[in-house]
Amino acid sequence: MKPHVGALIVYDDVDYTLRLENAGTHYKPYLQIDHMLGLYYPVLYLSDFWILKKEYLLVNFTNPVNITLRAGTIAKEYFGYQKQFLLTQKQ
């Protein structure tokens, strides 16, 4: 089990309701736009990017396990870098 996970809102102040193609290839799949209201939901990124395998916790269901949830924001560019890196690792 992972010892900590980050719940990060991707900070982005661009108006995508007019031109969705400005979003970029790594960001566009995560956008949910309500065209009737002209609003879009913030992208929530659950990040475990910087956890090493040696930090994983062994799960034994008889003992409690502490997990840390970190909340914050992340820049859209940094989000794109992480997604791109993860895609190259899968290839």
pLDDT of amino acid 20: 67
Range of the domain at 62: 4-90
User: Tens of pLDDT along 45-86?
Assistant: 887 767 767 777 777 777 777 778 888 998 888 888 888 887
* pTM, entire model: 0.65
In this model, does residue 18 exceed pLDDT 70?
A: no
In this model, does residue 21 exceed pLDDT 70?
A: no
pLDDT of amino acid 91: 64
Report residue 14: phi and psi, to 5°. -85, 140
How many domains does the structure of the chain reveal?
Answer: 1
Is residue 87 very low, low, confident or very high in pLDDT (cuts 50, 70, 90)? confident
Task: Confirm if 5 and 46 have CB atoms less than 8 A apart.
Answer: yes
Residue/partner pairs of 12-15 with CB below 8 Å, 24 or more apart: 12/42, 12/43, 12/76
